[in-house]
Structure 1
Amino acid sequence: MSGDRVDPGRAVREWLTHLDVEKGRSRHTLAAYRRDGDRYLAFLAGRGIDDLRAVTEADVTDFLVHLRTGDDDRPPLSTTSAARSLVAVRTFHRFLALDATLTADPAAAVSPPAGPDRLPKAISIEDVDRLLSVASVGDDASALRDQALLEILYGAGARISEATGLDIDDLALDEGVIRLRGKGNKERLVPLGTYAAAAVSAYLVRARPALATRGTGTPALFLNTRGGRLSRQGAWGIIHAVADRAGLGGRVTPHTLRHSFATHLLDGGADVRIVQELLGHSSVTTTQIYTKVSIARLREVYAGSHPRAR
């Protein structure tokens, strides 16, 4: 690096050109990074810094604090927005370090703010019953398929990709289990309750053969109206339609049913490591977030029931 001053404005322009020409970033991403860069430059100028060689880790940390507190011209940013802006600044300084414009990266050790824990959204057992009851209305092939799909999503805690990826050979209804293929094509056997098993059996006998005649032959369990494998997008559409009919529109996604599966198991006393196996999580740490949901429910019940909780 030469002894010349590193002009902040020029450096940002070169960084944006690099992102555009060499990295091929989208117009939307470039606009967001440009806004972040302008705000960072204004912050540095307010501190009298006109040479990027003078920027320290403390300056970058203070910029993050500035984002979270705001000023007379701009309101404070949310944790998520502040984290995104900091990522832009870190990317900017990393570019300068890799380009040898600067010998050090003052932003490398500054971590984005941690957001609040986002607890999985589960619906109540009563809402699940209402959803599945609505799905069971009708005796045509699509209605029987839809009921079987939702029963597996909730009854086995399957991801939507796992459910749509099921083949007929993955079923062992006489043993009450199904084989799911999770992330990394990792297989696991999951028990299937009597309600789900009955729904799948009814679909296999009374619906799938009719759907299969419209296609060219596939081992897929769930078929679309053309006889091919039901896609993830098709399954999403089914769930949204059933949720709307049940008066739960906007509250139910495929993952909602998986979350509800795990939460209701833990509420019923299941061990977290058993739930980990059923969900196909490689680490129990991932599963433990569901225990927070159950604890939140316990606190709610306690607050509403114990005479000295209020």
Structure 2
Amino acid sequence: MSRPDDPQDDPIAYFLQDISYQGKSERTRAAYERVLRDFEGFLADGDDSVQTLGEVSHRDCMAYVHSLRGTVAESTVATYASYLHRFYGYMTQVGAFESNPMALVVEEIDESIDTDPQRREISVPEMRSFVDRLAHPLDRAIIVTLLKTGIRAGELCNLDQRDLNLVDDPRDGVTVRPQLEGRSNSLYVSATPSRGTQTNGEHRRASNKRQRDTVVPVDPELGEVLIRWLAVRPDPVSEAKPLFTGTSDNWGRRVTTDMVHHLVEAHARDVGWYHDGAGAANNVTPHYFRHFFTTHLRDRTGDRGIVKYLRGDVAQDIIDTYTHDWGSRVREVYERHIYQLL
């Protein structure tokens, strides 16, 4: 792939080359190119006043998103919108474009938060009883982390010990990320790891799918569960020091998404929350915990923006529209409203 010296010559090629430098896979680059070229073709077939991608307005973006509806699934609409948003956000950051027209669009269409009314609904007291049944320190730590943070199974698997900063930390000799210095009781979820690439010196088997790096507060309940896990965890085999490691045949090795799905399914079956053939709407899976987190925290806070930040669904330019002291506000709102599970 040839990269133009001037991003204005071919902004899409410029962007694609840059994300390849960032370690994105060929499959990911191909997906971005397909969407961005489709958008470019949409513009060419429409308003003659739009001469370049840098001149696009939010109304042009909205028109494109609207044209997709009815032709692809709503989840695909959300994916296309997120690709455009990341493209424009990046090109704005490097100074190639003056602004990101998708910033307003993603706020307005709000495609990224699951509001499926057919999905099984579980109350906080019911989930509390479910958590109370979890005796194994690893199972309890994994499930409570998913429930308290809303992260995906792959993002949980990619966590390294450097991504966790605790006040009462039982670990010795762990250096946390610079982004967590001065941020005690916090978890750092990076947007960087991609399946098939190296991160922190280790080949990764899962991708983090969030739009930006995120610092998630660790409340006292999650901190207690993690401290208990860290006190008994096997020594990690990898020099990357994964946060969650196996305790049976894969002793000391990073947990995988298959392992996470299996343990959640096993516990869900025990309480009648998982049945073969029931489908995603009724079965409790790791992704259901993300839905639970989104639904309950959004209803409690009434602040969709903070929930989207915690989920990793928004970029920095949208966060800046809320507050200049975003990190403090997130922690304050989160700690005041996060549900209790123990």
- Normalising by structure 2, what TM-score? 0.44
Bigger Rg over Cα: 1
> Which of structures 1 and 2 has the larger relative contact order (alpha carbons within 8 angstroms, sep 6+)?
2
